[in-house]
Amino acid sequence: MARVVSKDSLRWWVLGTVVFGTFLGRLDQTVVNLALPKIISDFSITVTDAAWIATAYILANAVFVPIWGKLGDTAGRKKVYIIGFAGFIVASGLCAFAWNLPSMIAFRVVQGFAVSADYPTAMAIIAVTFTDARERAQALGLWSSSFAVASVFGPLIGGPIIDNFSWRAIFFINIPLGIIGLIFAVMFIHESVSERRAARFDWFGSSLLAGMLFALTLVLDRGQSWGWLSMASISCYLVTAASFTAFIAVERCTPEPLIDLKFFSIRPFVFSLINSFIVFMTLMGSIFLIPIFAETFLGYSATQTGLLYIPMAVCLMATSMLGGRLVGKVEAYRVIFIGTLIAAFALYLFTFIDIRSSAQAIMVPMAILAAGLGFGMGLRSNIIVAVVSKDEIGEASAISALVRNISGAFGVAVFSTILDNVINANVLAVAQSSVINTTGATAQQMHQFVALITLKAQVMGYAYVYWVALIVIIIGSFTALFIKIPNELERYVAAPRINEMPSE
């Protein structure tokens, strides 16, 4: 039987429940990437084929987030959360028994569809449970940090499981852990709904948005391997643009739209999203590149690389909580601005990365990066839920989820593309400025000469990417200055606004 979450002794159990669920869902995404080599071997497929195992999950996750957010507001957030969580457990079991590539892709679509219910409903559940603005910011900060922490602990947890058991074990382990999370959800989370229930669901708008997100996420995930100007990529661009245009037109005319466009007339809401996009693009792009550099040029194993992320995880969780404590003491936009500049300093330190870098030379900038970004984690989420109606928290949360999903994919796509292009350009530049005495040079020496040119070009490429990231995040930090709360809303960010009571 559900308990009364308004009691002080139980609201933190609610937070722990949704943090655990979010962590488990995002952990699965990172761990599966580690298992791909063994899946490739078992299924006798190519690397390109195997990439669809990850892509299927990402696509399903992105497409259904706004739909779950709207359903949570209208049908009940606890109900939607539990359905999604139960679906994730079942889909994990199906993935563990997958017998070939098509079955694995199908089951991963189901898994991504189910886990996409977590983000908008979890954020809304936290918002209606923590009515005090300062506590709500702390709770949202801790919950937001679970996304990055899951990316950090993925290699640490998944590596030993895959090495000592099987790739199927990473799916089987979701079943007992998922059941624990499901029991906690039933026990501690109260049902809550929007007072403004929809008379009908916007299926036409949902279909258009799904088509747009499918095409956009697909090209961001696969564009580099296809070629950004290939026919497949261009087709995705056209579908994205056409679907987006039609979606806006439909939402303007629909009495009960899937996404209320009036959100985008709220200045703090819009600039919070812009700042979040830049921050998560940089964070996920940085996380993506570090393991490649550490394992390729420093000779680290997957487990050793995972250890590099521990200080980052600790700093992210600590500063996300500290940032929440600043609510009501310091204006949110100042904290976000300063935190983003701290992250920029970390990216500056990364520009000195080379093959002689020690573990500390990587761990310290990563910790600083996490510390800087962590301060604004909860504050951004708190602003988003504070400046919208209590009936629209799920919709607003879904938009925030979309921004984070797309920004992460965008960051990986852009950073990896820049890296490849710069390396190719650097090879020519380094070769033109390098000289070898070919007289008496052996074939082995010539091979070493070419290898050194390539190595130098690659290391220079990483430094260049971090310079680009540094410039982007510095520019992005100034968007925080526009997240100023209007006087009529300021009291809602520093004091309770969400007074919605859970339904019995």
Q: Measured between alpha carbons, how far apart are the two ends of the chain, in Å?
A: 11
Q: Which residue has the higher pLDDT, 90 or 134?
A: 90
pLDDT one-digit tens code per residue, 179-205 = 998 999 888 888 876 655 555 667 787
Which comes out higher in pLDDT, residue 63 or 275? 275
Q: 121: which 2 tokens? A: 């409903």
SS3 at position 137: helix
Question: Which position has the token pair 């490849």?
Answer: 420
Residue range 403-440, pLDDT digits in tens: 877 787 778 778 877 887 787 776 666 655 555 555 55
Query: Three-state SS for 191?
Result: strand
Give helix 487-494 / helix 133-164 axis angle, nearest 10°.
60
* Average pLDDT estimate for 101-113: 89
Q: What percent of the chain has pLDDT over 70?
A: 83
pLDDT, tens only, 298-325 = 887 766 777 787 888 788 878 877 877 7
- 365 token code pair: 């900038």
Which residue type occupies 415? F
Any idea which of 125-129, 296-300, 352-356, 428-432 has the lowest mean pLDDT? 428-432
Alpha-carbon span 302 to 38, nearest angstrom:
14
CB 471 within 8 A of CB 343: no
Signed CA dihedral, 413, 62, 122, 106: sign only: negative
Q: 266 CB contacts (<8 Å, ≥6 apart)?
A: 387, 388
Enumerate residues 6+ apart whose C-beta is below 8 A from 164: none
| Alpha carbons 460 and 428: distance in angstroms, whole number | 12
Whole-number pLDDT of residue 90: 94
Q: What is the pLDDT of residue 158?
A: 77
Cα 372 to Cα 495: distance, rounded to the nearest angstrom: 25
Q: Which helix (H) or strand (E) holds 221?
A: helix 203-226
Listed residue (376, 30, 68) closest to 201, CA to CA = 68
Which residues does 125 contact at the CB level (< 8 Å), separation at least 6?
A: 14, 18, 77, 78, 81, 189, 192
Tens of pLDDT along 139-168?
877 787 777 677 667 767 777 787 788 889
User: Mind listing the pLDDT tens digit for each residue in 210-232?
Assistant: 788 788 878 877 787 788 888 98
* Window from 234-243, 352-361, 448-457 with minimum mean pLDDT: 448-457
Whole-angstrom Cα distance, residue 256 to residue 247? 13
| CA gap 269, 35 in Å, rounded | 38
Query: Which range scores top for mean pLDDT: 36-40, 275-279, 344-348?
Result: 344-348
Which amino acid would we find at residue 218? L
**Taking 50 as the threshold, does the pLDDT of residue 497 lie above it?**
no
Element (H, E) at 310: helix 310-325
DSSP label at residue 265? G
What residues form DSSP beta bridges with 191? Answer: 503
Residue 283's pLDDT is what?
77
Predicted confidence at residue 212, as pLDDT, reads: 84
What is residue 351's DSSP assignment?
T
Range with the largest mean pLDDT of 25-39, 77-91, 248-262, 456-470:
77-91
**Pair of tokens at residue 57:** 């999950």
Q: Label each residue of 427-468 as H, E or C.
A: HHHHHHCCCCCCCCCCHHHHHHHHHHHHHHHHHHHHHHHHHH
CA 165 to chain centre: 28
The whole-number pLDDT of residue 432 equals: 56
In one-letter notation, the amino acid at residue 467 is W
Which of 63-77, 253-267, 409-423, 449-463 shows the lowest mean pLDDT across its residues?
449-463
Residue 496: predicted pLDDT: 42
pLDDT for 444: 62
More confident residue, 149 or 465: 465
pLDDT at position 1: 43
> Would you say residue 503 has pLDDT above 60?
no
Task: Centre a 10 Å sphere on the Cβ of residue 166 and count the other Cβ atoms it contains.
Answer: 15
pLDDT score for 345 = 93
The length of the chain is: 504
Confidence (pLDDT) at 86 = 92
Q: What are phi and psi of 503, to 5 degrees?
A: -85, 150
The SS3 of residue 331 is coil
Q: What is the 3-state secondary structure (H, E, C) of 78-125?
A: HHHHHHHHHHHHHHHHHHHCCCCHHHHHHHHHHHHHHHCCHHHHHHHH
